[in-house]
């Protein structure tokens, strides 16, 4: 169970990427008061958590309704995560986040960023939704599901802490430190994504095993 918790925690931490979300949140809420920043951070984390838990619980049923095989979803999810990993290594993901943040900053009437873009797609995006669905689908049983939910809640708690401390945290880490962390997480995510694809191919084509 500890191995499962660590695996789920690492996967979700890398995909949700609290260190990468913090500077974007800091820039989006630069004109807000401390109370407003705290309120939006809490709301964004709760909404993202609800979205991810929903897909974790009902995602497989949705796939069955759409007649999509779980192994096909493993392969597709692995490819999607691999693309995200490449973007992280070459800083394309950070660049897109910053462009999205700049568009919001240039629109004065947009004040509350908790739902969009923070909760979705930054925290509960395609990668994190695919990851939590795959983790739950690969580990049958209530106890194993609860372990995964525990790992998810821990990642969300760390994310909330990162958002609340975004300003001081960014001054401490600096832009170069953030770039190093993002690249390291990207390499790790690439390996995890490759494993998802390998598992899906082995299950779909038993002769490969």
Give domain limits for the chain: 2-208
- Which pLDDT score is estimated for 76? 84
What's the pTM? 0.75
Residues 6+ apart with CB under 8 A from 156: 16, 45, 48, 49, 123
Model confidence pLDDT, tens digit, residues 61-75: 888 888 888 788 788
Distance from C-alpha of 29 to C-alpha of 38, rounded to nearest angstrom? 10
Task: State residue 97's pLDDT score.
Answer: 62
Predicted local confidence at residue 105, as pLDDT: 59
Contacts of 137 (CB under 8 A, 6+ apart): 59, 60, 70, 73, 74
Kindly report whether the peptide bond that precedes residue 4 is cis, defined as omega within 30 degrees of 0: no
Residue 70 tokens read as: 């779980």
Cα first-last separation, the chain? 25
- What are the average pLDDT values for consecutive 10-residue runs of the chain, which has 209 residues? 92 88 78 86 96 92 84 83 81 65 58 83 85 87 93 97 83 73 79 84 80
pLDDT recorded at residue 110: 45
């Amino acid at each position: 169970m500890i191995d499962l918790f660590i695996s789920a925690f690492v996967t979700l931490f890398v995909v949700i990427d609290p260190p990468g979300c913090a500077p974007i949140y800091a820039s989006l809420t630069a004109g807000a008061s401390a109370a407003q920043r705290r309120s939006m951070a809490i709301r964004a984390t709760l909404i993202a958590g609800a979205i991810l838990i929903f897909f974790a619980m009902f995602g497989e049923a949705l796939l069955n309704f759409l007649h999509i095989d779980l192994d096909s979803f493993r392969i597709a999810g692995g490819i999607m995560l691999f693309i995200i990993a490449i973007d992280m290594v070459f800083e394309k993901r950070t660049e897109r986040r910053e462009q999205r943040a700049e568009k919001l900053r240039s629109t004065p009437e947009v004040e509350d960023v908790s739902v969009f873009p923070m909760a979705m797609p930054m925290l509960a995006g395609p990668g994190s939704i695919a990851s939590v669905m795959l983790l739950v689908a690969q580990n049958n049983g209530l106890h194993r599901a609860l372990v995964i939910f525990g790992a998810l809640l821990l990642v969300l708690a760390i994310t909330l802490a990162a958002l609340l401390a975004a300003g001081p945290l960014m001054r401490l880490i600096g832009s170069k430190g953030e770039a190093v962390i993002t690249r390291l997480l990207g390499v790790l995510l690439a390996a995890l994504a490759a494993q998802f694809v390998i598992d899906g191919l082995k299950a779909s084509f038993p002769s490969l095993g």
